Structure 1
Amino acid sequence: MTQQDVKKAFMYPPRSQNEFLELNKNALNKIGYDVQPTDLAFVKYMLASPRKAVVILNWVEDRVYGRSYKTAIQYFFKMIALVVFSKFFAKKVVWIKHNFKPHNSSGSTKRFTFLCRLFGLLGIPPVSLESYFKSPSLVHPLYKSDEKLVKHMQCGESQATNDVLFFGGIKPYKNLHLVLNEWPVSLPLKIAGKCSDPVYKEELESIISKRGLKVAWDNRFLSGEELNELLEASKFVLLPHSDGTMISSGSFYHAIGEGCNILTNESEFGREKSKHHSFVHLIDIKGISERTLKEIYVPKYKVLKEVLSHYGEDKVVDAWKVILAGA
């Protein structure tokens, strides 16, 4: 590929611990894009070379929550400036909409709604990671390379436990409190994730104690290596997120990349995935039992084979080609 063939793309946020950004950057590199962060160099480049680069925006409308009020307001105006600046100086703006509602809002969602409307007023349509929301869509990358998935498949069935795992940041929209109120007393449940809200943490611990549940809760942030080991050792992952909150789930793709079966509720995301995948099970919490889990379980190597055919690296790259066609 010659220097002239290389196209420029800038991605927001410029820094994140979320591996999602790096995985998409790799996919964009494969189709000839040099992907850089939206920092000061981004501003200088866009002013000097208008309409020459693509701007890709993630979580813009979500990031104006979860901070002090003063900082959140500052972010709000920064996001307005970023969106408007990108519209007028970029060749194309790709707005990836991840959620229906902001996850860190304490009540009002006015800033979220305003930013979504701003995108609309500027003629920037949302692009999602799920076709049920809008098509064409991107494909959420897996957190394992195709090569590693194939090797994992060839290893056959691992000695995973039947314990159900709930992992990730513990927040009310994930419905863990509702799950614990109905979870069968005799069935073990593993929880791995930090709850930063002391009031919600106390509520969850109270339910576990009063009902005498067999719950093991590792209340901390796990490293990527620790999480992968935990997923590899688990047959089932529980995703009971509230309907109408998230459009796509990174936890889903992280879990299936380790061959886990998914237990989910009657959400739009859950219903859609259960239609397409044998390893996604819509469940009634009260009706779960060791026998039920044994009957519905799809072996890990079969899950990985299915996962690879739907979400492999080539699928991610092909989806970006469609979204960026003509850019």
Structure 2
Amino acid sequence: MHVFYFPYRYQNKIIQINTDILRSIGCKVSPLADVYKWQNLTNLKKVVVLNWVEDQPYLKSYGFIKSWVYFTYYFLTILFCKLTCSEIVWIKHNFKPHARDKNAWRYRLTTSLLKFVKAKQLAHEDYYDSTYLPHPLYLDDEELKMFSTKFVEPMDIKVAFFGHVKKYKGLHKTLLHWSKDIPLEIRGKFESEEYKKQILDTINSRNLNVIVKDGYVSDEDLETLLLQTTHVLLPHEDNSMISSGSFYHAISYGCNVLALESDFSKHKASKHRFVTTSDIEKLKLKCLERNYVPKQRVILDSLAVYSRETLTTYWKNLLSVS
């Protein structure tokens, strides 16, 4: 089976994990743009897999003209794939584009088109009303089993927030009520100097025990951080995301997860003891110490649900590959 995958190259490791699994079950995987090559036009059994295609016009790196060019290109490509492919698989990640809060009519038009052409809608969470495809962990199964036996538990509670520091994630609101006795480290590139100043002003005015390190975090640095961290903070506002890559990255290294209440976090808390949903105003250090789940237990519990083996089985069933 020939699968045309978008995006084909991306900083998000999940793309690589899924395309590697597709190859492992016998699929040929190519970039989406290759559907236009003449040698692929006659293959009407090919499958297209789309991630974040509805978000493309709203990427901040695109100017006005470029955003319209990409919107038009992907809109027409979806129509073309409907005519020339056996199936369009659409993996929906968010409820709305993160880069734009209002007037996202091109987002709505693209999602409406995907529904109109009867794209098979998937999501990485089974609380959402669509076909479920597990979100993978960031380390493979054997690596995690071996890794789990070598963990050295941190001596003290340490909370970390990592990744792009963007306003939609709600960190600025969380810090307004963050307890002074809970240490927090913020690692990642801020979306703007203005937002960075807002965060620092809150930390300084409240005299919080918070360390801020602005800038790109390498894979090696992130691994070191997560190994030394007991909890990862997910302050995402409700109704912005269906799933969270940060959640799966955190539990891949045995971290407990501390999240504000949302459909996503409540769903995860109902399934896993290492997930805490809490009103930030009431959160205290003793609560984190009392409910802490050791790293090895987090890893083993996560492997039982989100392993590569499980993901491979779901892809096989989805594509009817034996």
Q: How many residues align?
A: 320
Amino acid in the other structure paired with 1:148: E
Tell me by how many angstroms 1:106 deviates.
5.2
**Which residue of 1 is the match for residue 263 of structure 2?**
268
**Which residue of 1 is the match for residue 272 of structure 2?**
277
**Which residue of 2 is the match for residue 37 of structure 1?**
31
1:1-327 alignment runs, 5 A limit: 7-39=1-33, 41-44=34-37, 47-65=40-58, 66=60, 67-105=62-100, 107-159=102-154, 161-325=156-320
> Match of 1:95, SS?
strand
Structure 1 length as normaliser, TM-score?
A: 0.94
Judging changes above 3 Å, is the alpha-carbon distance between structure 1 residues 203 and 121 closer, same or farther for their aligned structure 2 residues?
same
Of 135-144 and 53-62, deviating more is 135-144
Q: Which digits, 9 at most, give the CA deviation of each residue in 1:255-305, with x for residues without a partner? A: 000000000111000000000011111112122222111101000000001
Aligned-partner Cα distance in 1 for 2:204–2:10: 36
Of 209-218 and 264-273, deviating more is 209-218
Q: Which digits, 9 at most, give the CA deviation of each residue in 1:234-270, with x for residues without a partner? A: 0100111111111111111110000000001110000
> Match of 1:234, SS?
coil
> Is contact 2:87–2:120 with CA below 8 Å preserved after alignment?
no
> Is contact 2:169–2:235 with CA below 8 Å preserved after alignment?
yes
Tell me by how many angstroms 1:158 deviates.
2.8
Tell me by how many angstroms 1:46 deviates.
6.6
> Is contact 2:159–2:232 with CA below 8 Å preserved after alignment?
yes
Q: Which digits, 9 at most, give the CA deviation of each residue in 1:21-72, with x for residues without a partner? A: 1100111122211111123x43115753231211101100012102222211
Aligned-partner Cα distance in 1 for 2:89–2:56: 17
Judging changes above 3 Å, is the alpha-carbon distance between structure 1 residues 300 and 44 closer, same or farther for their aligned structure 2 residues?
same
Of 300-309 and 284-293, deviating more is 284-293
> Is contact 2:121–2:131 with CA below 8 Å preserved after alignment?
no
Amino acid in the other structure paired with 1:26: D
Q: Which digits, 9 at most, give the CA deviation of each residue in 1:73-120, with x for residues without a partner? A: 111111102211111111111011110010111532111111000111
Q: Which digits, 9 at most, give the CA deviation of each residue in 1:135-190, with x for residues without a partner? A: 43111111101111101221254336411101110111111011110001232111
> Is contact 1:161–1:233 with CA below 8 Å preserved after alignment?
no
Of 263-272 and 106-115, deviating more is 106-115
Of 317-326 and 92-101, deviating more is 317-326
Judging changes above 3 Å, is the alpha-carbon distance between structure 1 residues 46 and 171 closer, same or farther for their aligned structure 2 residues?
farther
Q: Between the two proteins, what is the percent identity of the paired residues?
A: 37
Judging changes above 3 Å, is the alpha-carbon distance between structure 1 residues 78 and 290 closer, same or farther for their aligned structure 2 residues?
same
Amino acid in the other structure paired with 2:209: K
Instruction: Give unpaired runs (5+ residues) of structure 2.
Output: none
Structure 2 length as normaliser, TM-score?
A: 0.95
> Is contact 1:163–1:189 with CA below 8 Å preserved after alignment?
yes
Amino acid in the other structure paired with 2:51: N
Judging changes above 3 Å, is the alpha-carbon distance between structure 1 residues 168 and 134 closer, same or farther for their aligned structure 2 residues?
same
Amino acid in the other structure paired with 1:23: I
Judging changes above 3 Å, is the alpha-carbon distance between structure 1 residues 308 and 160 closer, same or farther for their aligned structure 2 residues?
farther
Of 102-111 and 260-269, deviating more is 102-111
Please tell me the root mean square deviation across aligned C-alpha atoms, in Å: 1.6
Judging changes above 3 Å, is the alpha-carbon distance between structure 1 residues 293 and 89 closer, same or farther for their aligned structure 2 residues?
same
Aligned-partner Cα distance in 2 for 1:82–1:75: 10
Instruction: Give unpaired runs (5+ residues) of structure 1.
Output: 1-6
